[in-house]
Amino acid sequence: MNGSPRKNGNTSAMLKEIVKIAEKKGASTTYVDLVDMEIHDCKACMKCKKEEGCSQRDDMDKLRPLVKDSDFLLLGSPVYMGDETGMMKCFSDRLYAFLKPSDTPGEYESRLEGGKKAMVLFTCQMPDGDKIYNYISIRYFRLLIKTLGYHDIRTFIIGGALPSMDLRETPRAKAVLEEAARFLQAP
């Protein structure tokens, strides 16, 4: 899921490289530009806590099955104003529909099958963005591992991503792609 408004920007280029790696390893992939989707904010109506699904009819109806049926979820967003893009935030907020009440009041369980893996990639212009924006990585780690029950994830922040450059040629980006290849290969 590309959370960048630029379909051919640095975030997209990195995500597409990771998709190529996955396809070379035999994975069936679906690449989505969230900018082309209509995803509304979560309305906190709580319908999803009573039954599986969501009360809203928008493009999350297409994306929920992709998330549910996939073994691997790849998310990417540039960092704007210190956070992921609004469209990525809307998407991640709507993952709330995958949670059902547990036997413990006030706690939830994931409706997703176990064993899933995810990779989350953020790009930013700040050269030391991996240090400055680390809280975003922590938040997504918590969302995917602790809340949604993913088995394993990797989060990356690649700083120094200027729009005029090919980020894939930087040492940090090359290291991320190498780690993606190892992570996709691991059981």
Q: Find the CATH number of the domain harbouring 138.
A: 3.40.50.360
User: Considering the domain boundaries, does residue 154 fall inside one?
Assistant: yes
pLDDT at 54: 96
User: Considering the domain boundaries, does residue 152 fall inside one?
Assistant: yes
Tens of pLDDT, residue by residue over 52-87, are: 999 999 999 999 999 999 999 999 999 999 999 999
Rg (CA), the chain: 16
User: How many residues are listed for the chain in this entry?
Assistant: 187
Looking at the chain, the number of H-run helices and the number of E-run strands are 7, 6
Six-digit token string for 62: 């297409």
Give residue 51's identity as a one-letter amino acid code: E
Torsion angle, CA of 170/171/176/181, rounded to 10 degrees? 100
User: Considering the domain boundaries, does residue 4 fall inside one?
Assistant: no
**Of the candidates 36, 13, 37, which has an alpha carbon nearest to the alpha carbon of residue 94?**
37
pLDDT at 55: 96
What range defines the domain where residue 79 resides? 10-185
Beta-strand runs (E) in 46-103: 72-80, 83-84, 99-101
Six-digit token string for 67: 């998330």
User: Considering the domain boundaries, does residue 1 fall inside one?
Assistant: no
User: Considering the domain boundaries, does residue 2 fall inside one?
Assistant: no
User: Considering the domain boundaries, does residue 81 fall inside one?
Assistant: yes
Q: Sorting pLDDT into bands at 50, 70 and 90, what band is 166?
A: confident
Interaxial angle between packed helices 171-185 and 10-24, expressed in degrees from 0 to 180 and rounded to the nearest 10: 30
Predicted TM-score (pTM) above 0.85: yes
97: which residues sit within 8 A by CB, 6+ positions away? 48, 52, 53, 54, 60, 64
Q: How many domains does the chain have?
A: 1
Tens of pLDDT, residue by residue over 101-149, are: 999 988 999 999 999 999 999 999 999 999 999 999 999 999 999 999 9
CA–CA separation, 94 and 150 (whole Å): 16
User: Considering the domain boundaries, does residue 62 fall inside one?
Assistant: yes
The residue assigned the tokens 């210190």 is: 82
User: Considering the domain boundaries, does residue 103 fall inside one?
Assistant: yes
86 and 12 Cβ atoms separated by less than 8 Å: no
Q: Distances in Å between the alpha carbon of 139 and those of 8, 25, 58?
A: 26, 29, 25
157 and 128 Cβ atoms separated by less than 8 Å: no
